[in-house]
Amino acid sequence: MKFDKEKMRLYAITDRHWLNGRSLKEVVKESLDGGVTFLQLRDKNSDDETFLQEAAELQELCRDYKVPLIINDNVEIALKMNADGVHVGQSEKLGPVKILGVSARTVEQALLAQERGADYLGVGAVFATGSKADAAELPHETLKAICEAVSIPVVAIGGITAENISQLKGTGICGVAVISAIYAQNNIKEA
């Protein structure tokens, strides 16, 4: 799938914590029906076989919606299933035919990731978040400085809700990445 920064407007990241008895495929479909434009499969606990099986199911669903599916931190699975891309820390490289997202917290990290071939950056946590215990809140001035320093798209991540999203206006981001703002809600499609 060709990389298109417009697809990054609403970037959802899966989290099993919010399933409440529903299947991952079911909640992802609801979120796609509701307008999610980019999806990251994040699963820190499943074995590779389970992860690959679920990734393949979600890939089929995402392709029906023409939404890129990115795999979190597992380059081998992303390559094995021919995923649209992978989101990693600061060190991986997949090559030109895949979407490569990289996490960054400083201008220096952002510039290095761009230089090494990142297609987009995930920057945060822009607000306090319960999804990643070690994520300290990033000043919005730093987010803005990163956006100004790089030419690739920047997606804000971390603690973003319907109530605080407006505080990111003017920072230069091209979209937001959310977990609980979608998947923790009773009506995922509406959220």
Active site residues: 42, 103, 132
d(CA 180, CA 42) in angstroms, rounded, equals 13
Q: How many CB atoms lie within 10 A of CB 155?
A: 23
For residue 39, give the nearest of 66, 16, 58, 12 by alpha carbon: 12
Give the amino acid at 8: M
d(CA 39, CA 97) in angstroms, rounded, equals 18
Q: How much is the CA Rg of the chain, to the nearest whole Å?
A: 15
Quick one: tokens of 4? 């298109």
Coil, helix or strand at residue 114: helix
